[in-house]
Amino acid sequence: MWAPASSPILVAFGLLGLVLVWQAGLQLHHLWWRPRRLEKALRAQGLRGSSYRFLTGDLAEESRLRKEAWARPMPLRCHDIVSRIEPFLHDAVREHGKPCITWFGPTPEVNVTEPELAKVVMSNKFGHFEKVRFPELSKLVAQGLSYHEGEKWAKHRRIINPAFQVEKLKLMLPAFSACCEELISRWLGAIGSDGSYEVDCWPELKRLTGDVISRTAFGSSYLEGRKIFELQGEQFERAMKCIQKISIPGYMSLPTENNRKMHQINKEIESILRGIIGKRMQATKEGESTKDDLLGILLESNTKHTEENGQSSQGLTIKDIMEECKLFYFAGAETTSVLLTWTMLLLSMHPEWQDRAREEILGLFGKNKPEYDGLSRLKIVSILQDLIDNTISFSRVQVTMILYEVLRLYPPFVELSRKTYKEMEIGGVTYPAGVTINLPVLFIHHDPEIWGSDVHEFKPERFSEGISKASKDPGAFLPFGWGPRICIGQNFALLEAKMAMCLILQRLEFELAPSYTHAPHTMVTLHPMHGAQIKVRAI
């Protein structure tokens, strides 16, 4: 008598079975047939590389090689870091030639190491490529960072562009110098009876670059901005703890303690931002808004855009503006602190360049006291403005050359990537949809065929005639990317780095501390694995 009652159950089981078979089919397609099909299509056109290994691709081997390489420190002053940072790719390129195929799990990656081809890939606006920018990480850390594609990205970029124009950035010089002075005073105050202070400058410089964004983005709401930076730092640490697990579908929604805390932090960040933006919009209504910080300029540009187009939909929403503000910290603070950290380390390793840069700066600014009075302060700012203008036209200023050489040897992002979303041809190869094109910036920056046999040496003078003449290929210098999605903050970063180095070199000399171990590694950005310990002395 159980048969009629059980038939709905049987139907349910049948349906469940069908769903499971369908899901298994999808997975099999995603993890086996698709990668095999893509591999066949690429190999048929003469591309070589590693063969697909079920599920993990090259990830396990890559991680094993990296672990081995990172277990050993490098000799001091050795900048030949490619085989340490990307050991798997290094071996793959040697074995299979350029460009070669590797596997990020079930996704094939074609590593394009020729600058010309890399530029073709990056020049494409959004006709053929999706941008692959740590999507999992952004899900985790920022929960809503503006990593948009297509038209939405173009609209955001149109509106935030004015905030990064050189004319506007010049207004931010006092904020830059105030933050640098705070750092230098702290270091000077910590100098002990032996006349020196040993400091791990990386966390210090991270704080500096975070402070710079807080001041330049939020002006008088600077202290609230600082709180956002601290919260984002905690968010980032938590994200890094579970980065391996986030490929599990739905993992982010699980009520783990870490997930709950991250959600709470995100809410706190958004509530502070909403407060700052709300206050500012109110002030604008009352006619008292400031237009010399990033938020002010962004709001002004947003209003203008909305009015010009006569439709409010053309502007950004408060949520969009909040995302942009979060992105400034995420994209701007870590990267610039890494640039400054390597600059401090490289000038410690190569003191002759430290002396040359200091000589130049003292020649330009003299030995001004830390508390500049009005006049000398003006002088410093105006000379710095000349420096900036020169930077834009690639001047021969030593500090500029040094910063470029640091960015060449230790680019904060060692690779950039794009993904084809439809079939397309680059450099005579037809790529099917679903292939990642990896642009290994570090490889390009360390290629002896492009930069010469002294490629691994710290030689800022190679930039003495500007970027385009520094190598055989004028497009081989890519720390900020290229094309329409080039870093929006590159002038901001160079200006800030220049200001910081000028003020530091004026007042301090520095050398490597005995505890420093030369061990570059990557955790999103390229930075020193065991800190950046230096000894500073007052001049």
Extract the annotated binding site: 487
Q: Which two tokens stand for residue 341?
A: 């950290």
Place of tokens 């739905």: 250
- Whose Cβ is closer to ligand HEM: residue 58's or residue 415's? 415
Nearest residue (beta carbon) to ligand HEM: 489
- 404 makes contact with ligand HEM (CB under 6 A): no
> Which of 129, 365, 451, 492 is the binder for ligand HEM (CB under 6 A)?
492
Q: How far is the CB of 492 from ligand HEM (least distance, A)?
A: 4
Place of tokens 């003449």: 469
How many CB atoms are closer than 10 A to CB 143?
Answer: 19
- 103 makes contact with ligand HEM (CB under 6 A): no
> Which of 485, 498, 518, 527 is the binder for ligand HEM (CB under 6 A)?
485
User: 79, 73, 74: which is closest to 406 by C-alpha?
Assistant: 79
> Which of 277, 424, 493, 526 is the binder for ligand HEM (CB under 6 A)?
493
Burial class of residue 237 (count of CB atoms within 10 Å of its CB; 0-12, 13-18, 19+): exposed
How many CB atoms are closer than 10 A to CB 44?
Answer: 9
Contact pattern for ligand HEM over residues 154 through 173, marking x by CB under 6 A: ---x----------------
Applying CB under 6 A, the span of 60-68, 266-274, 343-351, 476-484 interacting with ligand HEM comes to 476-484
Distance CA 118, CA 122 (A): 6
Applying CB under 6 A, the span of 85-93, 227-235, 332-340, 379-387 interacting with ligand HEM comes to 332-340
Phi, psi of 417 (to 5 degrees): -150, 160
> Which of 100, 142, 397, 487 is the binder for ligand HEM (CB under 6 A)?
487
- 479 makes contact with ligand HEM (CB under 6 A): yes
Residue 309's SS3 state is helix
- 327 makes contact with ligand HEM (CB under 6 A): yes
- 413 makes contact with ligand HEM (CB under 6 A): yes
Applying CB under 6 A, the span of 239-247, 456-464, 478-486, 528-536 interacting with ligand HEM comes to 478-486
Residues annotated within the binding site for heme are: 487
Q: DSSP letters along 427-476, please?
A: TTEEEPTT-EEEE-HHHHHT-HHHH-TTTTS--GGGGTT-STTSSSSTT-
User: 175, 176, 200: which is closest to 187 by C-alpha?
Assistant: 200
- Whose Cβ is closer to ligand HEM: residue 196's or residue 341's? 341
Instruction: Name the helix (H) or strand (E) containing 420.
Output: strand 416-420
Q: How far is the CB of 336 from ligand HEM (least distance, A)?
A: 4
- 481 makes contact with ligand HEM (CB under 6 A): yes
How many CB atoms are closer than 10 A to CB 185?
Answer: 13
CB 175 within 8 A of CB 314: no
> Which of 218, 353, 443, 480 is the binder for ligand HEM (CB under 6 A)?
480
> Which of 169, 399, 416, 424 is the binder for ligand HEM (CB under 6 A)?
416
Who contacts 229 (Cβ-Cβ below 8 Å, separation ≥6)? Answer: 210, 211, 213, 214, 329, 333
- Whose Cβ is closer to ligand HEM: residue 35's or residue 332's? 332
> Which of 65, 82, 118, 122 is the binder for ligand HEM (CB under 6 A)?
122
- Whose Cβ is closer to ligand HEM: residue 521's or residue 537's? 521
Fill in the amino acid letter for 270. E
Kindly list the residues in this chain that would bind ligand HEM in the complex (CB under 6 A): 122, 157, 327-328, 331-332, 335-336, 339, 412-413, 416, 479-481, 485, 487-489, 492-493
